[in-house]
């Protein structure tokens, strides 16, 4: 290896930023960009790492990005930084772990007023598992409520990191930025791989581009890759020829070669993101590495729901939308499904609830399709009498009770971090969600980790929202999959106007069935507008009605006045009314609004 190359490799620093939502990650990333790259203020949109509108609105980074920056350090040398952005939500734990695996270090951003949150902690542990050097940064020290010393102590107590060198910063006010950059140079090790070994590059993200095919974000761990090289994906065993290599500064800059330690992008006329799975290893097709990089996992959806177009003529549009989204999202799964109530649609699998909401919103916004979403469900392992096993991802497909030997459902280990004032509320909530208490650990004087085993289906409902409202937003949640356990579950059907609506069926625990049934029929009564005739709403277990309510008949809706000849106003009113009706699905003879299909999710919120 030439000295030149060696020297360059020694001046590379790869890192990411670990932070809880709102703790200032994007602002800090912006400051680092300003302090290093050639980017001017005018070129830079605020918080430019968060590209999609949706991300910006929710303040969550969904897709990862990697930026190459040049920093002239106090020692006079120029360093090449690669800042790799990570998503910050529990649904994307695996993606986070892969982008961390592309780094040698991480900045841990902790809000000087709020301290460590559960999600941050989970990601720090991921970083530690990946042997990353962690630089603690106490951010927002200019806030009047900032308690940097307390938070430093928390970092030491809770994570066990030495926080004596922690940078006291305010990304917003531009305080501590240089110190952060210097610590990156000093503390984070340079990449160690051998540039002459067979190629091993880690895929940590990929996006689909309609002109160039899949753009793969890679970190070269061993060897090097050049334009024109034949490459092979070690997990999917697909081979391609490299068309384009480059780095983002954040503008894309083409390169002829990426070598050890480099973080950049690669295109190779790849048609489908599922050929370039996150965590897979790219090697040379000619001179292959023996083993892939460790840690590759095929992502499996945890949460399923039905997506149906309100206007059944949009079925094909919906399929195209899913195909397009799948190009960018290998975790999204879907297959056609038919519902008696809703017609033709798709059963879709998601990593979690947030993932599900993001996909729904994108379909509605970007593809202009009004959707009916059925309540999310987990996958149940059902053993029929006689021993035949099957997996049920749709409550309406649950076999009849008399045919079932056992139903098993997925459980998770939920770690809830809360100020100790709210421990009571948290435990009450978990208890009400069929939780099994496991442990309670005091992290510091007033912060507690409460650990429960919970059925995933309970979390999938509205656990997170309730947790937030019961703890004034202070508690945070992280969960990991434990395994399947048998439960006393039953299928509850909902009848509208005496007709079973398959899209409203839910699986509930036997002991909660009456309570749930009552809540659902009341909620539906509230959500479904009056019809021309009276509509009974019933919840049933098998043939047995366990709860009922009645939607009264529409008696009068005729508009009185003509507004002194203002016909346009009258027209607008009727148009609005018509528009509302178009957003409803006619089930039997009943017009049902979108929200009603999610009624099971909402019912606990009003209690």
Partner 1 sequence: MIKGAYVHIPFCEHICYYCDFNKVFIQKQPVDDYLNALEKEITNQPRSCEIETIFIGGGTPTALNTEQFEKLMVMIKDHLYHNGITEYTVEANPENLDNAKLRLMKNYGVTRLSLGVQTFQNDLLTEIGRPHTNRDVIHVMQEARHYGFDNISIDLMFGLPNQTEDMLRASINEALRLDPEHISIYSLQIEPKTIFYNRMKKGKLVLPGQDIEAQMYELIINELAANGLIHYEISNFAKKGHESRHNLHYWNNDEYFGFGAGAHGYINDKRVVNAGPIKSYIREVNKKGHARTATHEVTRTEKIEEEMFLGLRKLSGVSKRAFYTKYHQTIDDIYSRELADLKERGLLTEDEKRVALTKQGVFLGNTVFESFIK
Q: Which residues bind partner 1 (CB under 8 A)?
A: 530, 532, 552, 554-568, 570-571, 574-575, 577-578, 581
What is the smallest separation between the CB atom of 528 and partner 1, expressed in angstroms?
A: 15
> What's the closest the beta carbon of residue 564 comes to partner 1, in angstroms?
6
Task: Count how many Cα atoms sit within 13 Å of the Cα of residue 325 in the half-sphere of its side chain.
Answer: 25
Residue with tokens 């990089």: 293
26 is in an annotated binding site: yes
Contacts of 463 (CB under 8 A, 6+ apart): 429, 433, 454, 477
In whole angstroms, the minimum distance from the beta carbon of 438 to partner 1 comes to 45
CA distance 127 to 105: 8
Q: Is 23 within any annotated ligand binding site?
A: yes
| Residue 441 vs 553, nearer CB to partner 1 | 553
Is 27 flagged in the annotation as binding?
yes
Query: Which CB, 387 or 565, lies closer to partner 1?
Result: 565
β strands within 326-398, DSSP E: 333-339, 343-350, 371-373, 380-384, 389-392
Q: How far apart are CA 112 and CA 152, in angstroms?
A: 9
Across 448-462, b (16+ Cβ under 10 Å) vs e yields: bbbbbbbbbbbbbbb
- Is residue 141 marked as binding? yes
Tokens of 79: 């360093």
CB of residue 312 vs partner 1: minimum separation in angstroms?
17
Could you please report the per-residue DSSP string of 230-269? EEEETTT--EEE--EEEEESSSEEEESEEETT-EEEEE--
DSSP type of residue 434: T
DSSP per-residue codes, 208-220: EETTTEEEEEEEE
Tell me whether residue 407 or residue 590 sits nearer to partner 1 (CB atom).
Answer: 590
Choose between 2 and 557: whose C-beta lies nearer to partner 1. 557
Residue 553 Cβ vs partner 1, minimum distance, rounded to whole Å: 9
Residue 254 or 559 having the CB closest to partner 1:
559
Smallest gap from residue 556 Cβ to partner 1 (A): 4
Nearer to partner 1, 46 or 567 (CB): 567
Instruction: Please tell me whether 25 is known to bind a ligand.
Output: yes
When the beta carbons of 472 and 589 are compared against partner 1, the nearer one is 589
Q: How far is the CB of 497 from partner 1 (least distance, A)?
A: 15
E-state strands within 432-570: 436-444, 447-455, 476-486, 489-496, 499-500, 506-509, 535-541, 544-551
CB crowding 28-42: b at 16 or more within 10 Å, else e: bbbbbbeebbebeee
329 is in an annotated binding site: no
The binding site comprises 22-27, 139-142
The binding site for GTP comprises 22-27, 139-142
């Amino acid at each position: 290896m030439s000295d030149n190359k060696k020297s360059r490799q020694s001046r590379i620093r790869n890192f990411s930023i670990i932070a809880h939502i709102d703790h200032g990650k994007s602002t800090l990333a912006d400051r680092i960009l300003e302090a290093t790259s050639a980017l001017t203020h005018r070129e830079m949109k605020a918080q430019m790492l968060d590209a999609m509108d949706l991300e910006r609105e929710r303040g969550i980074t969904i897709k990862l990005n990697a930026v190459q920056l040049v920093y002239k350090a106090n020692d006079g040398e120029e360093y090449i930084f690669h800042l790799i952005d990570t998503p910050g939500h529990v649904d994307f734990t695996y993606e986070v772990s892969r982008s961390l695996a592309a780094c040698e270090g991480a900045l841990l951003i902790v809000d000087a007023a709020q301290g460590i949150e559960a999600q941050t902690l989970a990601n720090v542990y991921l970083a530690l598992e990946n042997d990353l050097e962690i630089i603690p940064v106490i951010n927002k020290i200019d806030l009047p409520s900032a308690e940097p010393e307390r938070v430093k102590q928390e970092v030491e107590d809770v994570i066990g990191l030495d926080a004596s060198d922690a940078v006291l910063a305010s990304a917003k006010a531009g305080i501590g930025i240089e110190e952060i950059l210097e610590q990156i140079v000093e503390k984070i090790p340079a990449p160690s791989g051998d540039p002459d070994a067979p190629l091993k590059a880690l895929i940590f993200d990929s996006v689909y581009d309609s002109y160039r095919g899949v753009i793969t974000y890679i970190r070269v761990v061993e060897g090097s890759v050049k334009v024109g090289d034949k490459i092979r994906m070690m997990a999917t065993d697909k081979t391609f020829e490299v068309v384009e290599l480059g780095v983002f500064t954040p503008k894309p800059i083409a390169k002829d070669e990426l070598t050890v330690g480099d973080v950049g992008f690669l295109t190779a006329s790849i048609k489908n993101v599922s050929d370039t799975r996150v965590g897979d290893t790219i090697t040379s097709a000619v001179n292959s590495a023996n083993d892939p990089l460790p840690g590759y996992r095929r992502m499996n959806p945890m949460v399923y729901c039905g997506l149906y177009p309100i206007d059944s003529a949009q079925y094909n549009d919906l399929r195209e939308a899913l195909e397009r989204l799948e190009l960018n999202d290998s975790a999204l799964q879907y297959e056609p499904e038919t519902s008696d109530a809703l017609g033709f649609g798709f059963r879709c699998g998601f990593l979690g609830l947030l993932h599900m909401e993001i996909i729904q919103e994108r379909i509605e916004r970007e593809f202009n399709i009004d959707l009916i979403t059925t309540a999310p469900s987990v996958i149940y392992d059902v053993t029929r009498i006689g021993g035949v096993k099957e997996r049920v991802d749709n409550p309406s497909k649950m076999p009849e009770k008399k045919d079932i030997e056992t139903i098993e459902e997925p459980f998770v280990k939920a770690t809830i971090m809360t100020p100790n004032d709210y421990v009571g509320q948290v435990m009450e909530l978990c208890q009400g969600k069929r939780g099994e208490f496991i442990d309670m650990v005091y992290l510091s004087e007033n912060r507690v980790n409460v650990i429960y085993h919970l059925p995933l289906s309970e979390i999938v409902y509205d656990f997170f929202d309730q947790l937030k409202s019961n703890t004034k937003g202070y508690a945070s949640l992280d969960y990991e999959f434990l395994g399947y356990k048998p439960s006393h579950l039953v299928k509850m059907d909902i009848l509208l106007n005496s007709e079973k609506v398959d899209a409203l069926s839910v699986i509930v625990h036997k002991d909660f069935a009456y309570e749930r049934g009552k809540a659902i029929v009341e909620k539906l009564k509230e959500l479904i507008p009056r019809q021309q005739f009276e509509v009974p709403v019933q919840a049933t277990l098998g043939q047995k009605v366990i709860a009922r309510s009645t939607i009264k008949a529409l008696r009068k809706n005729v508009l009185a006045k003509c507004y002194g000849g203002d016909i346009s106003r009258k027209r607008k009113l009727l148009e609005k009314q018509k528009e509302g009706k178009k957003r409803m699905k006619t089930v039997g003879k009943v017009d049902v609004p979108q929200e009603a299909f999610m009624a099971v999710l909402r019912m606990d919120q009003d209690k």
